[in-house]
Chain A
Amino acid sequence: MTETLSGGETVVFWVLGPIALAGALGMVFSRNAVHSALWLVNTMLALGVFYVVQSAPFLGAAQIIVYTGAIMILFLFVLMLVGRDSSDSVVETLRGQRVAAAVLGLGFAALVGAGIARATQDLVVSGLGDDGGNANVTAIAELLYTRYLLAFEATGALLIVAAVGALVYTQIERAPGSRRGQKELARARFLTTDRPQTLPGPGVYARANSVAAPALLPDGTTTEESFATGIEPQEVDQMPRPTGREQLGSPDGALGTLDPAPSDRGDGR
């Protein structure tokens, strides 16, 4: 490592490095699957910022948009369907497998780490320098669409075929005309019945809210359409319906007396 890091880059690295590592460890050690996914999101975000700091802004944005934004959301989507209380079982079915896995995993990590360390030991790091920024975006585009065009197209075709194949396998075939869709049903209802909408509900009164209480029309009569099926409609005894000053009286007239106000008398009907 001949080139020293700039101040800001160092700060970002030492802040985000532990966060990324903590995310990775948290992902492995979380019991809850959704928590694991969240730790992984944490690591991926940190990686995205690392890319941006290392003058590869497009790669960073793609990492955040594609991996963190789309793929991990799909993971979460599936995990949420599993249910909240389904944590990992801690029962060991194969005896000693956990110790063996830990030893082998550590050994593998040591092998790969040592290999990479030796390979990059005397490498001169030049960095992207001024090729970061806008030039970086155009350079990626140029490589993708000239030198690696075939690989790019093949990958795209592969993904499309996989997605379409998955769709085809989940598709349920129905003989045409065997079931009427929502559109046909709605059309039939509107064209063939006198009343495409629902029937009016029962009346709701201050003294009754039973389904047996019929609704009122604006002129005060009950409407037969609101009668509930199979129940005798019950007549609701209503408060007198004050219509004007004559029935209502003067509201202040009853003040200070024991006489009820005219409309309280209940003989209005």
Chain B
Amino acid sequence: MNLLASPDQPTLEDFGHDVWWIVLIKIVGVFVVLVLMTLFAIVFERKVVARMQQRVGPNRVGPRGYLQSLADGLKLAFKEDIMPALADKPVYFLAPVIATIPAFLAFSVIPLGPTVSIFGERTPLQLTDAPIGVLVVLACSAMGIYGIVLGGWASGSTYPLLGSMRSAAQMISYEIAMGLSIVAVFLYAGTMSTSEIVAAQADGNQVSFFGWEFTGPSWFAVLLPVSFVIYAIAVVGETNRAPFDLPEAESELVGGFHTEYSSLKFALFFLAEYINMVTVSALAATLFLGGWRAPWPLSIWDGANTGWWPLLWFFLKVVAALFVFIWLRGTLPRLRYDQFMRFGWKVLVPTALVWILVVATMRTVSREADLSTGQVALFVGVPVALVVLAGLLVASRAANRDTRLMAEQASAGAVHAVDPEPEVLPPAGARRRPTGGPSRAEGGFPVPPMDLKVPPSPRLRHTAPADGAVVSTGRRGTATVEEDGDV
């Protein structure tokens, strides 16, 4: 730990001494930042996804469409507020509030910058910090689950209930993986306070590689790559974002937990989701990407880590993380629920546990053998990462071995690779009607009743009355009466 990295680096002792109006300014500032980031993130997401799908995206409201989310938000506030008849009224009302408040609270421990001067008062650019800073974020995300779960339950409707059941199981599972991924950062930084974790990533590690001295990177994303990857995957599940947006899978559950919500209550859910996205992006920047500290080429400039500049680096990192979220949404299809849970419990959690073991071993070795962090990371971490990557490669090849072999056989002419008459999705037994229909109905596709007679459509022209019919084409507003010439 290098707390003396910079005189502006706040430590835990710097918190809790602010004047009341500084605290007020910071609270309002965090609130405004979060709301603005939400407005920005929605437009940004729509623009980026549109670009990925070769569309233009919102381009009507404001300059180049950048005020679209503001207009949408205003519109949402003026919509009719519907209380379903079967709703559990107090819980239905409370749920969006419970979802939103922790989302705002979690951002209070995120460090936005070094100690700066606000109207002559020296104060860190961070609302507050605690010895358990990161745990505050975890606690808030744990509370946020209640909003979603209760919202789905209180709606008194099937799809929201299913959505909330899914989200309860999903968010607990992925919170475990997320918490475990952060443990390695705690081990390396030696603290759980966010400002000190940023401080721990301040200076590069001096590494001597066969007599060649250089300064290694100090970001935990580089030192602890496995943790970073697990964190990145877990927070996508934790924030209910595609491809893990099963609680609101629109093709399965209409809108999921918020199907019955409208107007401001829905807006609160929407706000909470995007704030959560911003918060986990900010936490990713804090824990793994050096926080508000300038990245390498910029950090050569001495002034990069002082004053208000770090605010810029910090938000650039947050926007980059947001972009990854949107990128994932634009690229990946939604997982099936069982695949998703299996991935969480059988891949993420065990990997995180083994990784913690490796990190703890590395720490012990470096302490006993008196090596520097960078050396251990270089001589142990890099080989371990390579072994893990090679293992994953072999595992994926092995998992797909059957498919590869069968595909080769199929391309070599053996068309029926599985068995001569593959029974693909047999029609449901009891409801299957005796069919004498065309043989292609045996392909396993649903078969309609064979005695079905489709009544002729009154709109079909050749069954229409032969005398003059009124045909309104809607063109140019001239409804014309004409002779039906072709009957």
Contacts and interface: CB of A to CB of B under 8 A. Distances in A.
Contact of A260 (B407, B416, B454, B482): B482
B368 interface: no
A259 to B, nearest CB: 8
B195 to A, nearest CB: 12
Contact of A210 (B130, B457, B473, B478): B457
Contacts of A269: 486
Contact of A137 (B131, B136, B150): B131
A88 to B, nearest CB: 16
Contacts of A265: 482, 485
Contacts of A260: 473, 478, 480, 482
Interface string B428-440: 0000000101101
Interface residues of B, number: 71
Contacts of B425: 185, 189
A84 B482 contact: no
A76 B476 contact: no
Interface string A165-201: 0000000000000000000110111011101001100
Given A57-B132, A64-B142, A134 B484 contact: no
Interface of B: 12, 86, 88, 91, 130-132, 135-136, 138-139, 142-143, 145-146, 149-150, 153, 156, 161, 164-165, 168-169, 172, 175, 179, 191-193, 402-403, 406-407, 410, 415-418, 422, 424-425, 435, 437-438, 440-441, 443, 445, 447-450, 452, 454, 456-457, 459-462, 471, 473, 475-476, 478, 480, 482, 484-486
8 contacts: A61-B132, A70-B175, A73-B145, A76-B168, A191-B417, A192-B416, A229-B447, A237-B461
B402 A187 contact: yes
Interface residues of A, number: 64
A137 B196 CA distance: 15
Contacts of B410: 191-192
Nearest to A72: B146
A269 B447 CA distance: 34
B459 A208 contact: yes
Contacts of B12: 133-134
Contacts of B193: 134
Contacts of A64: 139, 142-143
A218 interface: no
Contacts of A32: 88
B406 A254 contact: no
B168 A69 contact: no
B168 A77 contact: yes
**When A and B form their complex, which 5 residue pairs have the shortest distance between CB atoms, in order from nearest?**
A69-B142, A237-B461, A61-B135, A134-B131, A64-B139
Interface of A: 32, 34-35, 38, 41, 45, 48, 57-58, 60-62, 64-65, 68-70, 73-74, 76-77, 80-81, 84, 133-134, 136-137, 184-185, 187-189, 191-193, 195, 198-199, 207-208, 210-212, 228-231, 234-237, 251, 254-255, 258, 260-261, 263-267, 269
Nearest to A257: B478
Contacts of A57: 130-132
Contact of B403 (A187, A192, A266): A187
B253 to A, nearest CB: 15
Given A64-B139, A266-B486, A230 B437 contact: yes
A65 B403 contact: no
B457 A229 contact: no
A68 B98 CA distance: 13
A58 B438 CA distance: 70
B139 A61 contact: yes
Given A69-B175, A207-B457, A260-B482, A61 B156 contact: no
A163 to B, nearest CB: 11
A229 B439 CA distance: 9
A229 B440 contact: yes
Contacts of A195: 443
A184 B142 CA distance: 38
Contacts of A234: 454, 456-457, 460
Nearest to A239: B473
A254 B476 contact: yes
User: Which of A80, A136, A208, A236 has its CB near the most chain B CB atoms (within 10 A)?
Assistant: A80
Given A76-B150, A80-B164, A188-B422, 17 more contacts: A34-B91, A45-B143, A57-B131, A64-B143, A74-B172, A80-B165, A84-B86, A84-B156, A191-B418, A207-B459, A210-B454, A228-B448, A230-B448, A230-B449, A231-B454, A234-B454, A258-B480
B305 to A, nearest CB: 24
Contacts of B416: 192
Contacts of A229: 435, 437-438, 440-441, 447-448, 450
B104 to A, nearest CB: 16
B135 A65 contact: yes
A16 to B, nearest CB: 16
Contacts of A65: 135, 138-139, 142, 179
A185 to B, nearest CB: 7
Contact of A77 (B169, B456, B485, B486): B169
Contacts of B461: 207, 237
Contacts of B192: 137
A80 B422 CA distance: 42
Given A73-B168, A191-B418, A211-B448, A266 B459 contact: no
